[in-house]
Amino acid sequence: ILHAVREVWTSPFSERSFRWRQAVLINPEHVYPSVLLHRTVPSEISGVVVTADLETGEQGALTVSVSEGVAAVVDGGAPETVVLLPDGGMRLMASSRTATRKVVPLPPGEGVEVTAAQGRDPLLGDVETRALRAVAAEVLAKMPPRDGLPWDIELGFAKGTLYLMQIRPLRTSRAAGTHPYLRRLDEGAALAAEKIDLAGLLP
């Protein structure tokens, strides 16, 4: 665990991180690494929910990208991406190109196991979509969006139970705000419409 903490803490000093900060931040010298530790969840499905339609910008819709196992994309697979519409409907953005393998966490101290993927298509059923709508509604009720930015919610499903990993504001440009979300994060940094001033956030 201590080795992993060091790896995460030093990640902002990689070439990729420097490039992202130069593109997005007015004052890229402000670097404040933090490390979040939480219990590992052996998710059968994991992914992210953004509390807006990333293609149209519509509020009230949810953009969802999920894949099998605990990794977003494993062994060449691509996430299933859908938009859950306010009227209860669903729009498919990208079908899951299921990987042949998935990552499954083992008991504490034993690492992870790479095993064959089940190849479910679609990954999200009625039970999962209802749970996603419910957790997004609860998040928005308890934490209204700040500065008009939608929330980026990371979560997973294990044995039918939804587990929340983390929530953070989503920053992306209009040009980069398209699907699939996970594959365009780096483009978002390069095409940022306006830079962020971290100094204004300091006490």
Strand partners, 105: 112
When pLDDT is averaged across residues 27-34 and rounded to a whole number, the result is 80
120 within a domain of the structure (yes/no): yes
Q: What mean pLDDT, rounded, does the chain reach?
A: 76
Domain range for 126 is 39-196
Q: How far apart are CA 166 and CA 143, in angstroms?
A: 13
Residue 79: is the preceding peptide bond cis (ω within 30°)?
Answer: no
Alpha-helical runs (H) found in the chain: 2-10, 15-24, 126-142, 185-190
- pLDDT score, position 142: 93
Let me know: does 154 contact 165? Beta carbons within 8 Å. yes
- pLDDT score, position 196: 57
When pLDDT is averaged across residues 6-25 and rounded to a whole number, the result is 83
Indicate if 20 and 101 belong to the same structural domain.
no
- pLDDT score, position 40: 81
Indicate if 99 and 25 belong to the same structural domain.
no
- pLDDT score, position 173: 42
**pLDDT tens track for 151-200:** 999 999 998 899 998 898 886 543 334 334 444 444 544 444 455 555 55
Indicate if 106 and 134 belong to the same structural domain.
yes
Which tokens hold the place of 62? 């949810």
Indicate if 26 and 54 belong to the same structural domain.
no
Indicate if 92 and 185 belong to the same structural domain.
yes
Q: How far apart are CA 10 and CA 147, in angstroms?
A: 29
- pLDDT score, position 138: 96
Indicate if 14 and 45 belong to the same structural domain.
no
Q: What pTM, to 2 d.p., does this model score? A: 0.67
- pLDDT score, position 58: 83
Indicate if 96 and 22 belong to the same structural domain.
no
**Ramachandran angles phi, psi of 87, nearest 5°:** -80, 5
**pLDDT tens track for 56-103:** 888 889 999 988 887 654 334 578 889 999 999 989 887 665 566 667
The tally of domains found in the chain comes to 2
**pLDDT tens track for 95-148:** 665 566 667 677 666 677 666 566 666 788 899 999 999 999 999 999 988 777
Which tokens hold the place of 138? 């609860």
Count CB atoms within 10 A of the CB of residue 84. Answer: 22
Indicate if 86 and 176 belong to the same structural domain.
yes
- pLDDT score, position 70: 78
Count CB atoms within 10 A of the CB of residue 197. Answer: 12
Indicate if 4 and 68 belong to the same structural domain.
no
Indicate if 156 and 180 belong to the same structural domain.
yes
Indicate if 30 and 43 belong to the same structural domain.
no
